[in-house]
Chain A
Amino acid sequence: MNGDSLQECVLKQIGKYEAVDSNVLAAALEVDHQAIVGAIKSIQCFGDVIKVEPRNNKKWCVTDEGKLVIKNGSYEYNIYQAVPTEGILQSELLQKVSNAKIGFSKAMSNKMIKVDKKCEGGARVFRNQEDLKDETWSNLVALQNGNVGQVGEKVLAELKKRKLAQEVVNKSFFVEKGEAFTLKLEKPETDLTAQMIQDGSWKTKTFKEYNYNALGAPPAAGHLHPLMKVRSAYRQIFLEMGFTEMPTNSFVESSFWNFDALFQPQQHPARDAHDTFFINDPAISTKFPQEYLERVKTVHSKGGFGSQGYRYDWKIDEAQKNVLRTHTTAVSARMLYNLAQQKEFKPVKYFSIDRVFRNETLDATHLAEFQQVEGVVADRSVTLGDLMGVLHEFFRKLGVHQLRFKPAYNPYTEPSMEVFGYHSGLKKWVEIGNSGVFRPEMLRPMGLPEDVNVIAWGLSLERPTMIKLGIDNIRDLVGHKVDLQMVYDSPICQMDF
């Protein structure tokens, strides 16, 4: 009998009975119960052909030893029978029947027999009672006949202890017809194949159901870094707003362009070794536009262009020192200087997003390098209102719709404003950037006309990205210690707050 035909036999039986236990099936088909279980399981693979319910049946059985007892009588009864009315020597009795020791002690504890140790010739055994029946035998027979009810709980425990009977768990299945009950099984196809499409066999085949609760196979692909995705989004916004990207490919910058050109005095704390990375090699820059350098020197040390200046002894040595640029505004300064050298002034809108370096105390939100986003607009009569307006447009595109501006201090902008955006997720105002109007002491020495104002703003790329991705430690976002899984799993980073 092969598997398929057993399945069919089982189905026929189910068809006959409507509902049946697997044990009954095994008996009816005269097949081992396990084979029936196998057949039921394999029928289940065909869908809702049958309904199956597992059942556990407990049943008392007589053990092999118990069966012997049924055949030969219980050991204690055999001992009892062997004791004549006048008694018998104990040693003699023990040799008369099999399993005599067990039988003897059992018969003693049941008080079927008694021993007189003072008799002549040794201990003698006498019947304690006459006309006893073999209770053990009759209980076992009752069990064998399936009449468990006739046997008391205590006796069952006793028989189990004596290993004459045992309780066995019989696992079976209760089987009923299913919705799609059939006598003839056809295995559903796992999936549609080219062959089926070509020979048209798909029309008559059934198909295995999909499990829609499982995940699909992940696509085999590389991934872009989330911070770089955010950078792309910011670039896109600047380009949409008509801004031109500045060349920021110069991490090494002279203090002159990084600080002095921005009217940042030479004793300013930002120029401390605590804040700025200075460079050993190449240690200094020496080529500067000479006339411009003189004007910068004058505006610092003596003032001019309407300014009191800082009135200190400006030193060229300090300006020559190379640093890792502390802001991309160093690049903006070069761009504005170049703009001023053109014959005719034309308005410009510049932007950049690139690395800057700070020798600061490192913590969960500060690294020695980060990406600075910067926007600059230079035109005649650009106003503080324009700065606020352009910031509104810029941040609106990033999904920040409510802005507030707080007066602030920055050495090279005046007025200066910190920009706060309302974060609807965090339900609070968060500082999202810095902005201001470049000081005339920075612009006029470059040669820009007096009525040209330059507005600018800056922010870090990391901070809004960390808020967006819910990352607390900046090291989980950038650097070699990031978890690649984070990169694999990162969203497309729409910056909408």
Chain B
Amino acid sequence: MPTIGVNRDDLFKCLGETYTEEGFDELCFQYGIELDEVTSEKEQIEKEQGESKAVGASDAVIYKIDIPANRYDLLCMEGLVQALKVFLKKEPAPNYRCVAPINGVKQQINVTPSTQQIRPFCVGAVLRNITFTKEGYESFIDLQDKLHHNIGRRRTLVSIGTHDLDTITGPFTYDAQTPADIKFVSLNQTKEHTAVELMELYSKDSHLRAFLPIIQDSPVYPIIRDSKGVVLSMPPIINGDHSKIKLTTKNVLVEITATDLTKAKVALDTIVTMFSCHCEDKFAVEPVDIVCHDGTVMETPSLSYRQESVTAGNLNSKIGVDLKAEEIAELLTKMCLRSEVTNVEKGEILVTIPPTRSDVIHACDIVEDCAIALGFDNIVQTFPRSVTVGGQQLSMKMSERLRPELAGAGFTEVLTFSLCSSDDVGKKMRQVGKEMENLAVQISNPATLEFQVVRTSLLPGLLKTVASNRKMPLPIKIFEIQEVVLKDNSRETGARNERRIGAVCYNKLPGFEVIHGLLDRIMQILEVKWESNNPEYKGKGYCIKSAEDPSYFPGRCAEIYVRGKVVGKLGVLHPEVISNFDLVCPASALEINLESFYMS
């Protein structure tokens, strides 16, 4: 969730009202944003860089406000103030317009075919006769940063360049050239560099370094020039120094290059709608013609007002209220969605979605805005009338019944992680090249060694738990009923979960009889008879038969047969396994696949 910092006093001045912190917090809560932190420039510097660096910094109060990820129109002071003023019915939502220049000649950006192999889309607009205050200028730069990060996905999808139009001459060309052919003075540099040199230069820049890989390996780099060959920018890395905007800039050219046209248009609409309030002709934007690589001409920004027709009945039935069409229209208008009732009888409402509300893509978004404007507290709470019968998964039903029984048998339940290192299920368990290692699902982007694979056995987690609890009095008897994951080609995803019981007894002596006793108890409560007791049960009950497994001490391991099928193993763990998990005493262990007990 993005966070913006705004000066409290400026905010209240713009809103025309002063709030207490609690009062503003409540307003945020109602609107669906969140007053996250109250701080100041000084406090922030102190926190991040130490007190000495904060000397002289401003201690004006800053509100840090969390903004929902789909509300790009709230990412700057201008947009936030506009939205809240309309919400508080202090003023109507503005009407954003595209106005062609007086002489009728629009600025033009020509897109060359070579851009299609690297960053195919470009859009643009002009903000005429703008007046920046210091705060407005900073906000303008900041919004670009926020958009780069959010909708632009760290400039991969969208990157924005803004230029002092009076320093350059159209028409402009959006081209893609080999890095060696690009040479210009980049922002805040004094001498010319080739693109190759720039990539080298910015590889040491803590901020820009992150964006280099977006174009680094491409044979051509995107480049925008004016009619005289002056470089405006090399998207998505850096602007040229020549056309940089200043506090005194009067006319701004906005160019946006992108790999996603929809997002480029949204970003452009957002920037120009937010800052057209500082233009002489308020809320008016001068369009730019984009001559696409195939010769088609597209005018941007679209600043389109989309209309959607909804009915009061539908909205009421979604929210669970009984509002009149006029009431709904009024509520929606508070959310910048200008609405009018077109048919009182049928409750038809025509909703106009402004270019600032790119998040409204379906009637359900209008439903939400209506509910927010009404206030969630004003919605009568009801209980769904749906008549249903509850039910459990058999696997969970069985687990829930077994867990107290195992605890009753003296074993303590632990809860360990599903993710572990490859070694945990391989080398440490002496299972290298065996099923336990080979069937493990491999994670491609583990942050640490702890998340390399999904466990194929419950035993490593149990042994790690014992290792962390060596201070506890012996014996340590623990169990876990959870799922392991095994690769399985027959499944849709290529893997399946398997529910198991794992148990470990750690003591001065191996205690095979203790683990064996636990097995007998589990079988007893699952009503599986011991075969050796009675030949009549042969193949119908359970028995254990000597087996070899690298994790267990030779001659101290048995397979568990239930109704003639192997369901697991028990035995005394191999001394090397004990040492591999940093343990010192012998241990016996048991692991049973539970699935055959509830799936028939």
Contact = CB atoms under 8 A, between A and B. Distances in A.
A430 interface: no
A378 B320 CA distance: 15
Interface stretch (B65-73, B133-141, B323-331): B65-73
B414 interface: yes
Nearest to B306: A308
Given A383-B320, A415-B371, A440-B364, A480 B416 contact: yes
B449 to A, nearest CB: 12
B514 interface: no
B389 A242 contact: yes
Given A312-B260, A369-B418, A480-B464, A385 B493 contact: no
For chain A, the bracket of interface size reads: 35 or more
Contact of B472 (A247, A348, A405, A485): A485
Interface of A: 220-225, 227-228, 232, 235, 238-254, 267, 269, 273, 277-285, 287, 303, 305-312, 322, 324, 347-349, 355, 357, 359, 362, 367-369, 377-379, 381-386, 388-390, 392-393, 404-409, 411, 414-417, 437, 439-441, 453, 455, 478-485, 487-488
8 contacts: A223-B412, A251-B483, A251-B495, A287-B492, A377-B384, A407-B371, A408-B68, A409-B70
Given A254-B492, A322-B494, 9 more contacts: A222-B406, A252-B485, A269-B153, A277-B443, A377-B386, A385-B382, A386-B384, A409-B1, A415-B372
A385 to B, nearest CB: 3
Given A224-B403, A414-B367, A484-B472, A437 B388 contact: no
Contacts of A309: 361
Given A223-B407, A252-B495, A285-B493, A359 B383 contact: no
A359 B445 contact: yes
Interface of B: 1, 29-32, 34, 68-71, 153, 157, 260-263, 306, 317-321, 359, 361-365, 367-368, 371-372, 376-377, 379-393, 395-396, 400, 403-404, 406-419, 441-447, 450-451, 454, 461, 464-465, 467-469, 472, 476-479, 483, 485, 487, 489, 492-497, 499
A368 B419 contact: yes
A388 B381 contact: yes
B153 A440 contact: no
A223 B404 CA distance: 8
A478 B419 CA distance: 13
Contact of A487 (B367, B414, B445): B414
Nearest to A288: B492
B483 A359 contact: no
A384 B415 CA distance: 36
Given A281-B441, A310-B262, A416 B368 contact: yes
Contacts of A250: 493, 495-497
B381 A240 contact: no
A241 B465 CA distance: 36
A417 B447 contact: no
Nearest to A380: B386
A228 B69 contact: no
Nearest to A479: B417
A222 B408 contact: yes
A470 to B, nearest CB: 18
A384 B410 contact: no
Nearest to A286: B492
Contacts of B396: 235, 245
B597 to A, nearest CB: 15
B189 to A, nearest CB: 31
Given A242-B388, A308-B362, A280 B413 contact: no
Contact of B414 (A225, A239, A384): A225
- Residue of A277, A278, A312, A381 contacting most chain B CB atoms (<10 Å): A277
Chain A to chain B: the 9 pairs with minimum beta-carbon distance, closest first = A282-B494, A383-B320, A407-B32, A385-B320, A409-B68, A415-B368, A347-B386, A480-B464, A389-B381
B363 A280 contact: no
Contacts of A378: 386
B384 A379 contact: yes
A225 B413 contact: yes
Contacts of B153: 267, 269
- Residue of A220, A377, A407 contacting most chain B CB atoms (<10 Å): A407
Contact of A407 (B368, B413, B445, B451): B368
Given A251-B497, A285-B493, A382-B386, A484 B469 contact: yes
Given A279-B443, A324-B454, A385-B321, A307 B362 contact: yes
